[in-house]
Amino acid sequence: MISTDATCAGTAATPKDFKSPLKPIWCPGCGDYGVLNALYRALAAIGRPPHEIAFVSGIGCSSRIPGYTTAYGFNTVHGRALPIAQGIKLANPELLVLVAGGDGDGFSIGGGHVPHAIRRNADLTYIVMDNQVYGLTKGQVSPTSPRGTRARSSVYGSMESPVNPLLYTLAYGAGFVAQGIPGDMDGLAAIIEEGIRYPGFAFINVQSPCVSFGEPDNQVKVQRTRMRKLAAEGHDPSNRLRAIELAQDYGQELYTGVFYRNPNPPPTHGSQIKALQDERKALKAGVTPTLSASDTHPTCC
């Protein structure tokens, strides 16, 4: 098997327990390595055994990530990780379900699924590795590329304004919105852990640089000097309006940390479904369902 399930009851989990023997295909220096390491740490802190974790992704460099963990992985099709993850979570609410992918995967081809996962408050943690470029297809503009980006598909400069993933998810009503960078491993691991612990849909935008096709002046080391920790700036993550204000600066300021955490999370999709199932089961207890004449009175309508 490609994955092991090393955490045994009783022994504390370590990041190594979540590391699969598969060697990442990413370019040396790719930001996604840092995201993976931060994730190992967060999962160790959470302590759920790998076989109780389902890790779903779309297609892209970043979407390779489930295979590098020991969790049950599902590397699906481009842009569709969120619906698949919701099916998994609803089918087995006991599982810890993680979703990951790129900016193109999440905000271009899969953009239509984001608001719906949020409005259902699906209990998922969604990590987008936002490198402002299509990495896997070798350097076309992505929905988060700044206007004027010269890329392989826009040699004279792109004409579209970028979408703002932070503002989008906040506006859709996400209860947890955060941003991190791979250069700040401790910070990123803490954000991922907090996102997983949040009861409901948690969105984490990671500014994860692409060394091969990204902006040379926006790489891991540079980011470290540019980042502004929200906590250090005194931001209160329960203040949604302030979070929205700060999120406007996406593309200019590199804020890291939690923009917004809903202090009163609404019920999750799964908990509402569970309640309905219990109610219907109680109502039908003792009644054996049959397909018989009693089901359909001859005077149908």
Partner 1 sequence: MNDLIIGMAGSGGDGIISAGESLIGAVAAEGYYGMLTKSYGPQIRGGESSCRLRVSTLPVLNPGGSLDVAVILDWDDFLRFGSELPVTEDTVIIFDLKSGVDRTSLPLNALWPKVLCGVPLEDMAIETAGVQQAKNSVILGLLAGWLGLSPDNLLVGLRKKFARKGDEVLAGNERAFAAGLGHARVNPLGRNLRLDRPATPLKQRIIADGNELCAKGAIAAGCTFFGGYPITPATEIMQHLQTDIWEHGGVVLQAEDEIAGVGAALGASFAGKKAMTATSGPGLSLKTEMLGLASVTELPLVCVDVQRGGPSTGMPTKCEQADLFAAVFSAHGDTVRPVLAPTTVADTYGLTVEAFNLAEQYQTPVILLSDQDIAQRKEIIDPVDPSRLSLVNRLEPTAAELQDYTRFRLTSSGISPLSHPGMKGGNYLAAGIEHDEHGAPTANGEIHGEMNHKRLVKFLPLRGRHDLFVMEGNPDSPLGIIAWGSVAGIAQEALRIVRAEGLDARLMIPKLLYPIAEEVFADFFAPLTRCIVFEQSHQGQLYRLIRMWVNVPPQFESYARSGANPLSPEDFVSQIRKLSRAGLRKEHADRADFLNPL
Ligand X SMILES: Cc1ncc(C[n+]2csc(CCOP(=O)(O)OP(=O)(O)O)c2C)c(N)n1
> What burial letters (b/e) apply to 73-91, b meaning 16+ CB within 10 Å?
bbbbebbbbbbbbbebbbe
Binding mask 123-162 for Mg ion (x = CB under 5 A): --------x-------------------------------
Q: Helix, strand or coil for residue 17?
A: helix
Give the footprint of ligand SF4 on residues 49-88 (CB under 6 A). Answer: 61
Judged by beta carbon distances under 5 to 8 A according to partner kind, the member of Mg ion, ligand X, ligand SF4, none in contact with residue 126 is: none
Judged by beta carbon distances under 5 to 8 A according to partner kind, the member of Mg ion, partner 1, ligand SF4, none in contact with residue 103 is: Mg ion
Looking up tokens 């009503």 gives 173
Q: Beta-strand (E) ranges in 50-160?
A: 53-57, 72-75, 96-102, 125-130, 133-134, 140-141
Among residues 299, 170, 162, 192, the alpha carbon closest in space to that of 240 is found at 170
Q: Least distance from C-beta 204 to ligand SF4, angstroms? A: 17
Give the footprint of partner 1 on residues 61-120 (CB under 8 A). Answer: 64, 66-67, 70-77, 80, 82-92, 94-95, 112-113, 115-116
**Other residues' Cβ atoms within 10 Å of the Cβ of residue 169:** 30
What is the H or E stretch that residue 87 is in? helix 81-91
Site for ligand X (CB under 6 A): which residue of 67, 72, 105, 209?
Answer: 105
Q: Least distance from C-beta 277 to Mg ion, angstroms? A: 38
Q: Tell me: does residue 212 bind ligand SF4 (CB under 6 A).
A: yes
> Where does this chain bind ligand SF4 (CB under 6 A)?
26-27, 30, 32, 61, 131, 135, 210-213
